[in-house]
Amino acid sequence: MAEAHQAVAFQFTITPEGIDLQLSYQALNQIYLSGVRSWKKRVSRMRNRVIKGVYPASPSSWLFVVIAILATMYMRSDPSMGLIAKIQQHLPLRYSHTSLLFSTLLWLSLILALRFCLKLLLSYHQWMFEQHGRISNTTKVWVTLVRLLSGRKPLLYSYQTSLPHLPVPGIKDTLSRYLESVRPLLTDVEFKRMTELGNQFESTLGNRLQRYLKLKALWATNYVSDWWEEYIYLRSRSPIMVNSNYYGMDFLYVTPTPVQAARAGNTITALLLYRRKVNREELKPVRLCTVIPLCAAQCERMFNTTRTPGVETDVLQHWQDSEFVAVYHKGRYFRLWVYQAGRLLSPREIEYQVQRILDDTSPPQPGEEKLGALTAGDRIPWSEMRKQHFSSGINKRSLDAIERAAFFVTLDDEEQGMKGEDPAGNLDRYAKSLLHGKCYDRWFDKSFSIVIYKNGKNGLNAEHSWADAPTVAHLWEYTLATDAFQLGYTEDGHCKGEVDRMLPRPQRLLWDIPSEVQTQVQSSLAVAQALANDVDCHIFPFVKFGKGRIKKLRISPDAFIQIALQLAYYRDRGGFCLTYEASMTRLFREGRTETVRSCSNESCAFVRALEDGEDECRRLFRLASDRHQNLYRMAMTGAGIDRHLFCLYVVSKYLGVDSPFLKEVLAEPWRLSTSQTPVQQMELFDLKNYPDFLSLGGGFGPVADDGYGVSYIIVGEEMINFHVSSKYSCGETHILLQHCPLSVLTSLLMFSLFMYS
């Protein structure tokens, strides 16, 4: 306990001779330097607030306006048209002070005008519906104006106040689009019934709910996001492991180092460097076509965040800063300080500290090893245990150390990756390990948990309520690239840098776990293991077919893959199903996702024609592709279906009225839930020059018990990687998984040969 002794700044004892005061100057110095770091962060935040507050102008532009006004006044001209004189009549100020006040007000007015104009420009979305290479003159002028008004060197959140609000679609339009989306899935009788339900809803309850929703849209930043976060994620009482959390994987072919502690050192460092960029807002805003900014609000809760359980609803807790990470290894929890004397530890020092944890042979305390299972099971028991046994004493202090940590790290004692005599099977096991692990060796409530395996492979498991996959993919892309190309390793696989061997050891977290909690841990573990054992995951890397060949067909790669998935599903099930594809609405402030209903009349017509060998397949395929692209664009621009209907349903619940139409729509199962993982968002390295550094992307569990979770990533020109999950308990989906690779690949090749013929 020498380190604990050194951490005490001062001690005193009372003796017969008087008070004996002992000061630890080393500890006092640490406190001082930590305070300096904290104040530097506050000053940086204040500076950024000022810069964002005047964007798209700059603080220096104020001086330009003041000088311009004073210069015109010196020339005996009144640019204020009498306003300065009127201000003097009401305020006892000197003429120079009045001029300065007028200049400041004029400057602020110009900023508001610029911001308003930029918001109007960013509300224009017709550019998305124009054919590639055929840009209208209107769009060309629009692009020029956006570039002019976007300012120079924007901070991460500079565009937030200039982004438009998500519009509320017309109820008639939403109902029409909904009925069109379900037409290929219903018989004539079923479709007629659903049409009557929709018409009845529109003529009775629908318009009333729509008025309330428009009222919310007037004062809310985003009429969907808060309800989506609460009712879809935080109010769910079932386990978030598998059902909500998702995973991201390491490079496919490359493991930068086989040394577990070294990989942990660089990974932790890269993540903390990313956090520093987020805090300082040094990350460039993500922009479509290098012009149109996307909302960056999801970055705010990326670090120092945890989901705390409740009886009715969970709560996301976020802290401004954290100087440590929580680490799990062989049943023990540690607090690993990553700052010393106000500075970030070097990668080599973090490796040194991680190695200390790996070398620690102390056994877990009673009830400690599987404590994480509480976060993997049902939410209500975890909430009750947390309130009863983790709200005071050493349990609260240790739980605080985990929840307030920058993020969670698991030092896994297994090896993973595409290795050995069964590379395909090992990839599947790698995915399952990241999705749920042993059900107790991840802390599923943290915003994200990093897993470092024994052979140097890594990965992450992310909680879903605070952000969507593209935001986490951006973080993970930076982490992998910084680890491999910026930080690097020595020839023997260790991190670079010097080591201060006087660093205090990582701190073991102490627990007092009563038998009641241990019983609940076993119960939650049983629930989680049943869920994990039922999940089947398969990874299908297609390395000889990618977007290069697809683009030669002048087809959207995403539309191409979605149609291929429809064909694969039809071949194995003999029909079609409601298909969910995640699209983003980050063109709008605080936007998250919208659903693209990929199973359309056009895609079904093409699949049937292709299976029947009809001659018009070429035309139908083009129609299906164009239709899918149009659906995706409509979802991105606020003209989707499902978020609008979801919010109408929430309003109906607040009003205490029932809608048979909305109830039936929201109960429809998504048997095919799909998502594309974005790649090369930051372009930190060129895949053409480093083809071995291909990312595997990530995946998620199935949404429906008899359905699939399909995630895919289009990497480079010659690779498409699929992550497909289902449940063993549904025999049909398990059978399909065995044929899915061949079916999808055959579909892609058939399309290619067909279109080239």
Residue 332 CA, distance from chain mean position: 29
- Check: CB of residue 327 under 8 Å from CB of residue 424: no
Same fold, 237-535 and 543-637+670-757: yes
Residues with Cβ within 8 Å of 454's Cβ and at least 6 positions away in sequence, in order, are: 260, 412, 413, 414, 415
pLDDT of residue 313: 97
The fourth-level CATH superfamily of domain 237-535 is Choline/Carnitine o-acyltransferase, domain 2 (3.30.559.70)
Of 329, 464, 538, 644, the active-site residue reads 464
pLDDT of residue 682: 83
Report the pLDDT averaged over residues 557-568. Answer: 89
Over residues 495-517, the pLDDT tens digits come to 998 998 889 999 999 999 999 99
- Check: CB of residue 153 under 8 Å from CB of residue 275: no
Residues with Cβ within 8 Å of 109's Cβ and at least 6 positions away in sequence, in order, are: none
Sort strands 324-329 and 408-411 into parallel, antiparallel or unpaired.
parallel
CA angle, 30 as apex, 28 and 31 as ends, to 5°? 65
**Torsions phi, psi for 74 (to 5 deg):** -65, -30
How does residue 26 score in pLDDT terms, banded at 50, 70 and 90?
Answer: low
Length of the chain: 757
Report the pLDDT averaged over residues 364-390. Answer: 97
Class of domain 543-637+670-757: alpha beta
Return the higher-pLDDT residue of 755 and 346: 346
- Check: CB of residue 328 under 8 Å from CB of residue 473: no
Over residues 321-343, the pLDDT tens digits come to 999 999 999 999 999 999 988 89
- Check: CB of residue 284 under 8 Å from CB of residue 302: no
Q: Determine the 3-state secondary structure of 596 from DSSP.
A: strand
pLDDT of residue 2: 38
**What angle, rounded to 10 degrees, do the helices at 171-182 and 188-201 form?**
170
261 membership: H or E segment, kind and range: helix 260-280
Return the higher-pLDDT residue of 316 and 97: 316
**What angle, rounded to 10 degrees, do the helices at 731-756 and 557-573 form?**
130
Structure pTM?
A: 0.91
Report the pLDDT averaged over residues 199-216. Answer: 95
Amino acid at the residue 107: W
**What angle, rounded to 10 degrees, do the helices at 95-122 and 137-149 form?**
140
Residue 747 CA, distance from chain mean position: 31
User: How many Å apart are CA 154 and CA 150, to the nearest integer?
Assistant: 8
Token pair of 434, please?
A: 């990241």
User: How many Å apart are CA 340 and CA 438, to the nearest integer?
Assistant: 33
Q: Mean pLDDT, the chain, as a whole number?
A: 89
Asked whether the predicted pLDDT for residue 23 surpasses 70, the reply is no
Residue 139, judged by CB atoms within 10 A of its CB (0-12, 13-18, 19+), counts as: middle
Domain ranges in the chain are: 56-125+143-153, 237-535, 543-637+670-757
pLDDT of residue 679: 83
Over residues 645-689, the pLDDT tens digits come to 999 999 999 999 999 999 999 999 999 999 999 888 888 888 888
Torsion of CA 51, 56, 62, 63, to 10 degrees: 90
DSSP 505: P
Over residues 132-145, the pLDDT tens digits come to 778 899 999 999 99
User: How many Å apart are CA 483 and CA 290, to the nearest integer?
Assistant: 26
Report the pLDDT averaged over residues 401-430. Answer: 93
Token pair of 373, please?
A: 């299972």
389 is catalytic: no
- Check: CB of residue 166 under 8 Å from CB of residue 223: yes
